[in-house]
């Protein structure tokens, strides 16, 4: 069965620090990969996605993620975080052969001003 693992449940950083959130998945076939963000009191929003092509994908608000197929990883990065990045971040994967998104448990990110 597919699964998604996010390594950190809580991350606290100061403004301007660099961010990397880990995401690993288990599935041997072709996958689509997503990072979603949920700001306090808001709905889930897509940050970025990978379907094919360049494994380094850029999303909104300065976020990027790198797909490393050999490591089954899709880590999220941002070089310099802002207070407004305080939110919960979810990694999600779906196999090309079905409709389900399989989600990680999420990482709560708190940025100290």
Partner 1 sequence: DTGVSQDPRHKITKRGQNVTFRCDPISEHNRLYWYRQTLGQGPEFLTYFQNEAQLEKSRLLSDRFSAERPKGSFSTLEIQRTEQGDSAMYLCASSPQRGQPVMNTEAFFGQGTRLTVV
Q: How far apart are CA 56 and CA 67, in angstroms?
A: 6
110 lies in the binding site for partner 1 (CB under 8 A): no
Nearest to 34 by CA among 109, 81, 95, 97: 95
The span of 13-21, 62-70, 76-84, 90-98 binding partner 1 (CB under 8 A) equals 90-98
Q: Which is nearer to partner 1, 11 or 17 (CB)?
A: 11
Q: How far apart are CA 89 and CA 12, in angstroms?
A: 13
67 lies in the binding site for partner 1 (CB under 8 A): no
For partner 1, the binding residue among 13, 32, 66, 86 (CB under 8 A) is 32
- Return the structure tokens found at 18: 């660099």
The span of 13-21, 60-68, 69-77, 100-108 binding partner 1 (CB under 8 A) equals 100-108
DSSP-derived letter for residue 101 is: P
């Amino acid at each position: 069965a597919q699964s998604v693992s996010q390594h950190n449940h809580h991350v606290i950083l100061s403004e301007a620090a660099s961010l990397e959130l880990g995401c690993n998945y288990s599935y041997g076939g072709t996958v689509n990969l997503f990072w979603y963000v949920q700001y306090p009191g808001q709905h889930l929003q897509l940050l970025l996605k990978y379907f094919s092509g360049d494994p380094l994908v850029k999303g909104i608000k300065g976020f990027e993620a790198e797909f490393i197929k050999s490591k089954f990883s899709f880590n999220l990065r941002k070089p310099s975080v802002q207070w407004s990045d305080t939110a919960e971040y979810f990694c999600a994967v779906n196999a090309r052969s079905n409709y389900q998104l399989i989600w990680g448990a999420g990482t709560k990110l708190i940025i100290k001003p």
